[in-house]
Structure 1
Amino acid sequence: MAEQWQLEGDYVEACNCDVTCQCIWLEPPDDNVCTVSLVWHIRDGRYGDIDLSDLSVGMLVSTETGVMFAPDTGWNVVLLIDEAADDDQRAALEDIYFGRAGGIFAPVADTHVESAEVATVPVTFDRNGADLSVEMGDVVSMAVVGKRGFNEDLGTISPHPLTKSREMQTGKSTTATVTYDDEFSWDVSENNSYFGDFELANA
């Protein structure tokens, strides 16, 4: 039986969609494929008795053509784990993010993931309100600014699946590059980003 887990912290994503990610409304992404980097900085987290606080996790996703969450759309995934994690912490994070421990990632793994691999990288994650920056070794470089509208209010998006509140803030990437291999190599700078606080658990 999987251990109970809960994670809270900061989240940011940057994808190839120009203005806003259509996946939220189950519509095809720009260019009919999704290339996205997702990063979680865990401020407070546990997997059973294993403390996961102050670690970061990244996920690179490259999809087949079509709506990202359509049942027949396959994903290729690379999981990037903070090199600060010890063996037990790394195993726990793999169990969570590959869906083996239940929660939101279980149906994603069962329905969509066609291939998956893991790499360990050094991580720098900085957040100052609506400004975020992430460096994950030589693989991910991301800088995001919040997008404001009328009355200088920060935009929000809902329903976003990756937090308990279902709400994230809208942003724009000033830098969003990935360099891993031929499939996971892109520059989607100056495009859509979502970010905010996240809270996830399997119970």
Structure 2
Amino acid sequence: MEPPDDDVCTASLAWHIEDGQYGDVDLSGLHAAMLVRTEEGVMFAPDTAWNVVVVVDDAADDDQRAALEDIYLGRAGGIFGAVADVHVERSEVVTAPFEFERDGTEFSVVVGDVVSVAGVGKHGFNEELGTVSPHPLTADHEMNTGKSTTATVAYDDEYAWDVSENNAFFGDFALANG
């Protein structure tokens, strides 16, 4: 692993929950996003600290918002619990409206005036859609590769970047705890 350019690593992640629940709280149709920034080091190196903003769908009621916060801040355990225990140094939660579209390998998500991402899957050799495997969050353990046409974040000075025309990844996620 090599350090990122300028030793700062950023990521914006977004989820559309087709069908899901946390305890008895229905989360179907809701969304969440996560903005991640490291000040130095390789993002997944064990000693790299993350600053995180979790953006919860403003359509969520109080119980749904609390459930999404528990999941994405790692309090519910699972993969995000492991990430929070090792990496998250500082976090905050905000709400925003979400617009999400996916048609095959084309996708877009707009999160209020905070995140705008659009991209398309990229095919590699043999004209097959590129994949990264194994991936711990996807249902089939493969993440699809793509290219962003737009990938901007504008939350505040710390979380402001434009990485349009770069790598993008997408897949069908399956999260479970227990």
> Normalization by structure 1: what TM-score?
0.84
Q: How many residues of Structure 1 are paired with residues of Structure 2 in the alignment? A: 177
Unaligned runs of 5+ in 1: 1-26
1:155 is the counterpart of 2:130: yes
C-alpha separation in 2, matches of 1:57 and 1:128: 19
Runs of 4+ displaced beyond 6 Å: none
Which runs of structure 2 are paired with 1:122-201 in the superposition (5 Å)? Answer: 122-201=97-176
C-alpha separation in 1, matches of 2:154 and 2:172: 26
Pick the structure with more strand per residue: 1
> Normalization by structure 2: what TM-score?
0.96
**Deviations for 1:49-76, whole angstroms, at most 9, x for unmatched residues?**
1000000100000013112122210000
Give the equivalent residue in structure 1 for 2:2. Answer: 28
- TM-superposed CA distance for 1:29, in Å, is 5.0
C-alpha separation in 2, matches of 1:28 and 1:145: 26
Unaligned runs of 5+ in 2: none
1:51 is the counterpart of 2:26: yes
1:82 is the counterpart of 2:36: no
Look up the SS of the partner of 1:174 in the other structure.
Answer: strand
C-alpha separation in 1, matches of 2:132 and 2:10: 19
Higher relative contact order (CA 8 A, sep 6+): 1
C-alpha separation in 1, matches of 2:2 and 2:84: 20
Give the equivalent residue in structure 2 for 1:41. Answer: 16
Give the equivalent residue in structure 2 for 1:11. Answer: none
Q: Which amino acid aligns with 1:125?
A: F
C-alpha separation in 2, matches of 1:30 and 1:145: 24
- TM-superposed CA distance for 1:161, in Å, is 2.4
